């Protein structure tokens, strides 16, 4: 089978490898669609993410869908949770598997991911998807799950004013979720005009091009009558966006940080956050979101399909990653 491995910075190579053996509790999958995530781009451009570094040629890809390749369920189309928690630690037993210290995560560290024709994965991580959900839609359920968890952390209530700072795929999904959660006003920022256009399409009431922070902060405060936003979601991975989120949040408000900064450091003006008495929450992937994500897409409440703007075969993965790294389009999908 064909397998794509990252050997170094922007060094992707296709290998011929045996179809993996299936261990107890696993299922063999034929991979049908893999989304290129922002965290994949950190690996591609920096040979790592945060404190995790490339130690051997790694198969990337954690947003994926597939078809069961053998056994009683052969032919079943599934979306796949890329995280395999231990199930026995304190955090798993408390219902927080996303905080499990022993988690295995596809395409991270030494755990190979989905950019290959076949893979074996834990059977408990497979979620059947209906025919109305395409392979590309199935891959999008992972970023939708992250967006659901992000919105959950904001504890939105009907009638709130919401700020979305960063309109990549997860930001655009968060806008849709905020809208169906009853947000009365949704304000979005991004550096790229085509993403702001998409944000408006999905329900943002006002959009502003992100520059150095001060200009959009002034505009957002003006748009909210000087009040600010009840909940600010930073999904850009840029400290300018963090500062804008802090500056525009109301006193006593909540700031949810979902972006992953390239330098592995986040900073903001402490006095502003302290004097406002802000609650700051950090997003760690997602938890228990796949059934909800499937229902939202199946019922047409969230549009994931329009976010996928490019599809490539495995042989053109380097082109796909370079386009994603240049932030062209929105979501790029590779189809092994």
Give the Cα separation of 218 and 73 in Å (integer): 56
What is the C-alpha separation between 328 and 324, in angstroms, rounded?
Answer: 6
Name the residue with tokens 């091009």: 209
Question: Mind listing the domains of the chain with CATH numbers?
Answer: 2-128+304-335 (3.90.180.10), 147-282 (3.40.50.720)
Quick one: pLDDT at residue 269?
93
Please report the pLDDT score of residue 244 as a whole number: 96
Q: Which parts of the chain register pLDDT below 50?
A: none
Residue 211: per-residue pLDDT: 85
Whether the Cβ atoms of residue 287 and residue 95 lie closer than 8 Å to each other: yes
Q: What are 117's two structure tokens?
A: 């024709």
Closest CA to 59 of 4, 18, 2, 117: 4
pLDDT (0 to 100) of residue 51: 87
Spatial contact of 192 and 207, defined as CB atoms under 8 Å apart: no
| CB proximity list for 175: less than 8 A, separation 6 or greater | 164, 167, 186, 188, 199, 202, 203, 204
What is the predicted pLDDT for the residue at 213? 64
**Nearest residue to 258 via CA among 331, 140, 167, 136:** 167
Question: What token pair was written down for 185?
Answer: 């006003």
H helices of 23-81, in order, are: 38-46
User: What pLDDT was estimated at residue 214?
Assistant: 77
Residue with tokens 């256009």: 197
pLDDT of residue 336: 95
CA angle 125, 106, 48 (to 5 degrees): 155
Counting Cβ atoms within 10 Å, is residue 191 exposed (0-12), middle (13-18) or buried (19+)?
A: middle
Q: How far apart are CA 50 and CA 108, in angstroms?
A: 11
DSSP string, 120-156: EEEGGGEEE--TTS-HHHHHHHHHHHHHHHHHHHHT-
Sign, CA dihedral 301-304-309-313, equals: negative
């Amino acid at each position: 089978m064909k397998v794509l491995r990252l050997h170094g910075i922007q060094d992707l190579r296709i290998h011929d490898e045996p179809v993996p053996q299936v261990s107890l509790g696993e299922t063999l999958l034929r991979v049908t669609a893999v989304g290129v995530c922002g965290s994949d781009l950190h690996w591609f451009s920096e040979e790592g993410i945060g404190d995790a570094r490339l130690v051997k040629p790694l198969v990337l890809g954690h947003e994926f869908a597939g078809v069961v390749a053998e056994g009683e369920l052969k032919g079943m189309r599934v979306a796949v949770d890329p995280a395999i928690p231990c199930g026995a630690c304190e955090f798993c037993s408390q219902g927080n598997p996303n905080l499990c210290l022993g988690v295995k995560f596809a395409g991270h560290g030494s755990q190979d991911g989905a950019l290959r024709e076949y893979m074996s994965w834990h059977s408990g991580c497979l979620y059947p998807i209906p025919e109305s959900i395409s392979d590309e839609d199935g891959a999008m359920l992972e970023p939708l799950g992250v967006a659901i968890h992000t919105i959950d952390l904001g504890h939105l209530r009907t009638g709130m004013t919401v700020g979305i700072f960063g309109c990549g795929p997860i930001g655009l999904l968060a806008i849709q979720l905020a809208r169906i959660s009853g947000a009365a006003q949704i304000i979005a920022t991004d550096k790229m005009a085509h993403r702001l256009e998409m944000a408006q399409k999905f329900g943002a009431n006002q959009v502003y091009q992100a520059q150095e922070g001060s200009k959009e902060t002034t505009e957002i405060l003006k748009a909210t009558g000087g009040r600010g936003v009840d909940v600010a979601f930073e999904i850009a991975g840029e400290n300018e966006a963090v500062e804008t989120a802090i500056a525009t949040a109301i006193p006593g408000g909540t700031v949810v940080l979902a972006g992953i900064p390239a330098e592995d450091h986040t900073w903001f003006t402490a006095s502003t956050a302290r004097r406002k008495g802000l609650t700051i929450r950090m997003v760690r992937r997602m938890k228990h979101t796949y059934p909800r994500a499937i229902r939202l897409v199946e019922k047409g409440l969230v549009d994931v399909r329009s976010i996928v703007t490019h599809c490539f075969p495995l042989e053109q993965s380097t082109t796909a990653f370079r386009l994603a790294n240049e932030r062209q389009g929105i979501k790029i999908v590779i189809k092994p």
